[in-house]
Amino acid sequence: MPELPEVETTRRGIAPHLEGQTVRSVSVRNGRLRWPVPEDLSVRLEGEVIRSVERRAKYLFLNLDSGSVIVHLGMSGSLRIITDDSAALTHDHVELMLHSGVRLRYNDPRRFGCWLWSSNPNTHPLIASLGPEPLAPEFNGVYLFRRSRGKSTAVKSFIMDGHVVVGVGNIYANEALFKAGIHPRRQAGRISLSRYHRLVEVIQETLMAAILMGGTTLRDFVNSDGQPGYFAQSLLVYGRGGQPCSECQTTLKEIRMNQRATVYCTRCQR
């Protein structure tokens, strides 16, 4: 599934082509996504100007004067900027045609993504209860420390909880915990303030590095310009179970936590 850096990379890729542009037409070829595409989406969008493209967690907002389109890429979705006359592919389900001649095309083979409408996206049920952004000032060591008190939840599950903080998906949780030297199964409530300061620092460093390098290359994801991300070349533990630790050469251990691959060093992480 595309994680926060992939979604932010997509936002940065499509925003310059969309912002300030008027929607000429909307084509919904298959509205049966995770939730049905609103039947009146074309009525709401045609003739309207896209004022901005924003990201909240893994959701993208196409903001207009009257409201916003909420887009989620799901497990296999991607957005493309189309500037030629190339025909739609089998899994190109939604397309916006702009007066500039540019088209925004949504492709989603598994159809787990969504295109929804909201007059105020921040109050939408999918958005309203989300935690802070991981790169925002309010996400800091003190915040995590206070939220973790009394929690027996494993720290990996804790930082992947979208009600605690958004966008720290499985890949980046693995990487951040390794860099912070924290065992993924350690109880969240038993981690000190100083270690949470360090964990926040490496979460932010890891996500920023991934954004700058174009996200992590996953089988179903390519950027809005059609090029894959390159951050996978920099992964220290994820996908490296059974290989030597880059710090101490101990064999990295891979387990399953909440049905997710979890890789860690038994020597470096406590």
Flag whether 134 is in a domain.
no
> What average pLDDT does the segment 72-79 reach?
92
Do 104 and 161 fall into the same domain? no
Q: Which helix (H) or strand (E) segment is 9 a member of? A: helix 4-18
Instruction: From 53, 88, 123, give the residue that closes a domain.
Output: 123
- So what's the pLDDT on residue 81? 93
Number of domains in the chain: 2
Annotated binding site for DNA: 91, 110, 151
Q: Which residues are catalytic?
A: 2-3, 58, 260
Question: How sure is the predictor about 169, in pLDDT bands with cuts at 50, 70 and 90?
Answer: very high
Coil, strand or helix: which one is 175? Answer: helix
Report the interhelical angle of 4-18 vs 193-212 (nearest 10°): 40
CATH number of the domain enclosing 40: 3.20.190.10
Predicted local confidence at residue 46, as pLDDT: 97
Kindly state whether residue 170 falls inside one of the protein's structural domains: yes
**Tokens 């949504």 -> residue:** 106
Task: Tell me which residue range forms the domain holding 148.
Answer: 141-264
Neighbours of 222 (CB within 10 A): 20
| Nearest-angstrom CA–CA distance, 20 and 146 | 42
Confidence of residue 234 (pLDDT cuts 50, 70, 90): confident
Q: Are residues 106 and 188 in the same domain?
A: no
> Same domain, yes or no, for 165 and 77?
no
Cα–Cα distance for residue pair 143/132, rounded to 1 Å: 10
**What average pLDDT score do residues 130-139 get?**
97
- Per the annotation, where are the binding residues? 91, 110, 151
| pTM for the structure as a whole | 0.90
Cα torsion 52, 75, 41, 89 to 10°: value is: 100
Q: How far apart are CA 154 and CA 262, in angstroms?
A: 12
Asked if 208 and 160 sit in the same domain, the reply is yes
69-78, 101-110, 221-230: least confident range: 221-230
* DSSP sequence for 122-156: GGSTTTTT----TTSTT-SHHHHHHHHTT--SBHH
Q: Is the pLDDT of residue 172 over 60?
A: yes
Asked if 78 and 112 sit in the same domain, the reply is: yes
Residues forming a β-bridge with 261 = 256
